[in-house]
């Protein structure tokens, strides 16, 4: 098969430009996806640069060489800033501009060197390695580094850096324009472009992956307290009951006392502050235990205790009640609210008793707690 290099280049350039244009459009359509905008603009700049290089016979040399390369340096730097934006870390514009400026100054400084082509290729590859190393650092230090998209990008960036190292080695091997005609150099460039395609697809993948995880969190959590919402609690509780089949489990239902009065007397915001306070208190009190908890609605919270924690359920419930009643809650507008809670407790054996039965039993115990004066725990471990 005969390959016409010029045609291949046009095909590659067109596909690359369309792909990066798609990334940019997605970044503009979804303003919260800042990373896509960085990578999209970077891709467009790279396409412009490649076009200038391709137009070499028809345009002034300085435009198709120096300007094209400086644009390419800027494009490379956006890979790094895109990674920072993805991680919601501050973009370091000043450092980024300085590095691009330094690379451009070096390019202009070597423009009269006899082996300008080779030195330029080595400079570009070094600049590429520098920005990709910075990008790699962002990805490998991320708490999300185990995600598939992150691992994909890390692998591709490493492969790209290897290919660039090969390019630098070639540039050092040849002299005074011989590199341009080398089939190895053409091959290295071809591999690089293919990997670049894959990298752009991985960028899109990683953004969708992050979006999916964000949506999942939104669907599972109560936005005010950050606790699991009712549906998520039920889903997770069913899983836990299956895992602990045959073992004792306990369920607590907490309901704040006279909470309507808090809203009426102190305002809705103060009411929200009380709910957030209780969520924090639950985190603190339940941290040592095997506990699943969530906000099941309004001023009602639910806790499933498994393992050793199930046997300690009455004590844990009493501790939560006592901790809430002990101190007044300071609201964001500096009011002080004395809040108490009633707690219903039910115990059973996972597998023998369903979540529904446990909740019904705990609700009945909660009703008793409300009837018997509030600010107390009612129910027992062996009621079912
Ligand atoms: N601030 C705030 N209030 C809420 C929220 N969700 C529910 N509420 C309020 O919680 C109150 C619940 O009132 P009730 O069901 O009458 O119960 P209560 O006043 O706590 O009385 P008892 O449960 O009988 O002790 C209502 O006023 C709701 O408006 C919320 O997200 N924020």
Q: How far is the CA of 1 from the centre of ligand 1 (A)?
A: 76
Is residue 196 within 6 Å of ligand 1 at its C-beta?
no
- The SS3 assignment for 298 reads coil
Task: Quote the ligand 1 centre to 58 CA distance (angstroms).
Answer: 75
- Ligand 1 binding pocket includes 375 (Cβ within 6 Å): no
Å from CA of 259 to ligand 1 middle: 5
pLDDT digits (tens, 9 = 90+) for 330-354: 999 999 999 999 999 999 999 899 9
Atom nearest to 297 CA in ligand 1:
6
Rg (CA), the chain: 31
273 in ligand 1 pocket by Cβ < 6 Å? no
Distance 261 CA to ligand 1 centre (A): 8
Give the architecture (CATH level 2) of 230-380: 2-Layer Sandwich (3.30)
User: Which residue's CA lies nearest to atom 7 of ligand 1?
Assistant: 298
pTM of the model: 0.68
Cα 268 to middle of ligand 1, angstroms? 10
How many CA within 13 A on the CB side of residue 74? 16
Is residue 299 lining ligand 1, measured as CB closer than 6 Å?
A: yes
Q: How far is the CA of 227 from the centre of ligand 1 (A)?
A: 18
Closest to 271 measured CA to CA, from 281, 256, 284, 253:
256
Neighbour-count burial for 362-383, b at 16+ CB within 10 Å, e otherwise: bbbbbeebeeeeebbbbbebee
Task: Residue 246: count other Cβ atoms within 10 Å of its Cβ.
Answer: 8
| Site of tokens 């471990």 | 381
List, by residue range, all CATH 3.30.70.270 domains of the chain. Answer: 230-380
DSSP character at residue 33: -
Q: Where in the chain is the domain with CATH 1.20.1070?
A: 5-220
Half-sphere exposure (Cβ direction) of 111: Cα atoms closer than 13 Å: 14
Angstrom distance (rounded) from CA 200 to CA 206? 10
Q: Per residue of the chain (384 residues), what is the pLDDT tens digit?
A: 555 666 777 787 888 888 888 888 888 888 878 899 999 999 999 999 989 988 888 999 899 889 999 999 999 999 999 999 999 999 999 999 999 999 999 999 998 888 788 888 889 889 999 999 999 999 999 999 999 999 999 999 999 999 989 888 888 887 777 777 778 888 888 888 888 889 888 988 998 898 888 888 899 999 999 999 999 999 999 999 999 999 999 999 999 999 999 999 999 999 999 999 999 999 999 999 999 999 999 999 999 999 999 999 999 999 999 999 999 999 999 999 999 999 999 999 998 999 999 999 999 999 999 999 999 999 977 755
How many residues appear in the chain? 384
Q: Which pLDDT score, from 0 to 100, does residue 57 have?
A: 85
The number of C-alpha atoms within 13 Å of 356 and in the hemisphere containing its C-beta is 0
User: Is residue 112 classed as helix, strand or coil in its secondary structure?
Assistant: coil
- 256 Cα: distance to centroid of ligand 1 (angstroms): 8
**Which residue among 270, 279, 297, 299 has the greatest number of ligand 1 atoms within 8 angstroms of its CB, and so is best to mutate?**
299
The predicted pLDDT at position 348 comes to 93
Atom of ligand 1 nearest to the CA of 259: 20
CA-nearest residue for atom 31, ligand 1, is: 298
The correct answer on CATH 1.20.1070 for the domain covering 5-220 is: yes
C-alpha 214 to ligand 1 mean position (Å): 29
pLDDT at 384: 58
Tell me which residue has its CA closest to atom 23 in ligand 1: 257
Whole-angstrom CA distances from 162 to 129, 195, 279, 326, 353 are: 9, 11, 49, 62, 59
How far is ligand 1, taken at its centre, from the CA of residue 344, in Å?
17
CA–chain centroid gap for 351, Å, is: 36
Q: In 3-state terms, the chain is what percent helix, strand and coil (to 5)?
A: 65, 10, 20
| H-assigned helices in 222-267 | 230-243, 259-266
Contact 256 CB / ligand 1 (< 6 Å): yes
- Closest atom, ligand 1, to C-alpha of 272: 1
């Amino acid at each position: 098969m005969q390959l016409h290099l010029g045609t291949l280049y046009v095909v590659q350039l067109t596909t690359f430009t369309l792909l990066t244009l798609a990334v940019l459009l997605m970044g503009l359509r979804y303003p919260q996806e800042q990373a896509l905008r960085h990578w999209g603009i970077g891709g467009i700049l790279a396409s412009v640069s490649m076009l200038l290089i391709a137009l070499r016979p028809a345009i002034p040399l300085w435009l198709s060489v120096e300007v094209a390369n400086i644009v390419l340096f800027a494009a490379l730097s956006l890979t790094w800033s895109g990674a920072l934006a993805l991680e919601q870390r501050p973009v370091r514009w000043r450092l980024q501009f300085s590095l691009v400026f330094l690379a451009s100054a070096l390019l202009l400084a070597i423009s009269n060197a006899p082996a300008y082509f080779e030195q330029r290729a080595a400079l570009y590859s070094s600049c590429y390695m520098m920005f990709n190393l910075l990008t790699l650092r962002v990805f490998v230090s991320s708490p999300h580094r185990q995600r598939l998209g992150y691992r994909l990008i890390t692998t591709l960036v490493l492969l790209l850096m290897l290919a660039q190292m090969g390019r630098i080695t070639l540039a050092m091997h040849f002299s005074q324009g011989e590199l341009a005609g080398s089939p190895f150099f053409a091959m290295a460039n071809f591999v690089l472009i293919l990997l670049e395609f894959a990298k752009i697809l991985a960028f899109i993948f990683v953004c969708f992956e992050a979006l999916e995880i964000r949506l999942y969190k939104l669907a599972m959590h109560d936005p005010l307290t950050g606790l699991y919402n009712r549906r998520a609690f039920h889903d997770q509780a069913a899983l836990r009951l299956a895992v602990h089949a045959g073992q004792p489990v306990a369920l607590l239902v907490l309901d704040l006392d006279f909470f309507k009065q808090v809203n009426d007397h102190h305002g809705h915001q103060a009411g929200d502050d009380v709910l957030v306070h209780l969520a924090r208190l639950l985190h603190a009190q339940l941290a040592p235990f095997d506990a699943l908890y969530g906000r099941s609605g309004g001023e009602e919270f639910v806790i499933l205790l498994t393992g050793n924690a199930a046997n300690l359920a009455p004590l844990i419930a009493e501790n939560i009640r006592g901790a809430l009643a002990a101190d007044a809650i300071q609201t964001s507008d500096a009011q002080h609210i004395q809040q108490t809670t009633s707690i219903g407790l039910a115990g059973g054996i996972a597998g023998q008793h369903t979540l529904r039965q446990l909740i019904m039993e705990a609700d009945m115990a909660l009703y008793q707690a409300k009837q018997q004066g509030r600010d107390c725990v009612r129910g027992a471990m062996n009621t079912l």
